Structure 1
Amino acid sequence: MQKRQKKHALNAEMNVVPYIDVMLVLLVIFMVTAPMLTQGIKVNLPNLEAETLVTPKEQKVITISIQEDGRYYWNVGESVDTAQVTDRATNLTEMKEKLSPLLQIHQDIQVFIRADRSANYELVAQTIGLLQQSGVEQLGLVTEEQDQ
């Protein structure tokens, strides 16, 4: 008696090509929808090529947004947050009155300014001067990455 020869051996490997296709489709979906999920105050930031700053977790951070028309918005938290608004002011004097108590309590607070590219340069300079007079030593400017 002759033994039957098997023409095809069993293949125990898993075919991962369909899984890769699904992952690529999900990646494209997330890449398309992620920019639509961004909320916050509309500020047209200048483009600049610079390094990203890292802040320690326990340090308080104030993110001040200056709009083109001179209105101020800010958020107090543990990281740079442009979507949330803690408080607002219509001019520099009002902002100083509202932020002074906070700046005196937290001496090691880090402040980031994100000003609209069309905002008056004098507003940004006055804000920086006010913050320095209030004792802020750690100050940064927020920009967008430069388009390639």
Structure 2
Amino acid sequence: MDEKPFESMNMVPFIDIMLVLLTIVLMTSSFIVSGKIPVNLPQATASAPDRSEQRTIELDAEGTIYLDSQPLTTEALGRTIEEEDRETAFLLRADQAVSLQHFVDVVDVLKQLGFGKVAVQTESGGR
């Protein structure tokens, strides 16, 4: 039997693997250093509107809540929609100047009552 002694090792595959690992480390390290991934929330582009029957909840700039154009308080909103089928779709239309807390209060009422079909209306276009 004529066996050749092991004289050298082909390093090219190891170098390729190391370059891939180095690329992965460098790509993820920038996210780790900053602590978060920066997110700019743009205006939404037009999407196909949902044509199913839905109820509309609107919030004006002062934070007044309207359910199908009828003004309500947060508590009254909860009592009013409590009897609705949980599959009812709701469309939230909030003025961009409304306080985030008012918006969260309305979403919290919907979540507590178990409504899952909720959409937020936005304007088409960008800045």
Could you state the TM-score of these two structures normalised by the residue count of structure 2? 0.59
Corresponding position: 1:88 with 2:88 = no
Hey, what's the Cα distance between the residues in 2 that align with 1:50 and 1:138?
A: 20
Q: What value does the CA root-mean-square deviation take over the aligned residues? A: 2.0
Q: Which runs of 5+ in 1 are unaligned?
A: 1-46, 76-84
The one-letter amino acid of 1:97's match is R
Q: Tell me, yes or no, if structure 1 residue 50 matches structure 2 residue 50.
A: no
Q: Which amino acid aligns with 1:64?
A: I
With over 3 angstroms needed to count, the CA separation of the structure-2 counterparts of 1:118 and 1:139, relative to structure 1, is same
Find the residue that maps to 1:48 and give its secondary structure: coil
- 1:99 partnered with 2:81: yes
The answer for the alignment partner of 1:71 in structure 2 is: 64
Q: Partner amino acid for 1:107?
A: R
**Letter of the aligned partner of 2:64 in structure 1?**
R
Provide, for residues 94-143 of structure 1, a one-character-per-residue CA deviation record: whole Å limited to 9, x for no partner: 22122222x2xx22111111101110001111111110111111111001
The code of the aligned residue for 1:70 comes to: G
1:121 aligns with 2:104: no
Q: 4+ residue runs of structure 1 moved beyond 6 angstroms?
A: none
Correspondences of 1:132-143 after superposition (within 5 Å): 132-143=111-122
Contact residue 67 and residue 77 of structure 2 kept, 8 A: no
Q: Kindly tell me the number of residue pairs found equivalent between the two proteins.
A: 86
Whole-angstrom CA distance in 2 between matches of 1:88 and 1:53: 29
Contact 2:92 2:121 survives alignment (8 Å): yes
Percent same amino acid among aligned pairs?
14
Tell me the secondary structure at the aligned position of residue 71 of structure 2. Answer: strand
Considering only CA atoms, is the larger Rg found in Structure 1 or Structure 2? 2
Aligned partner letter, 1:123: H
Answer whether contact 1:62 1:112 (CA < 8 A) is retained.
yes
Whole-angstrom distance in 1 between the partners of 2:98 and 2:43: 16
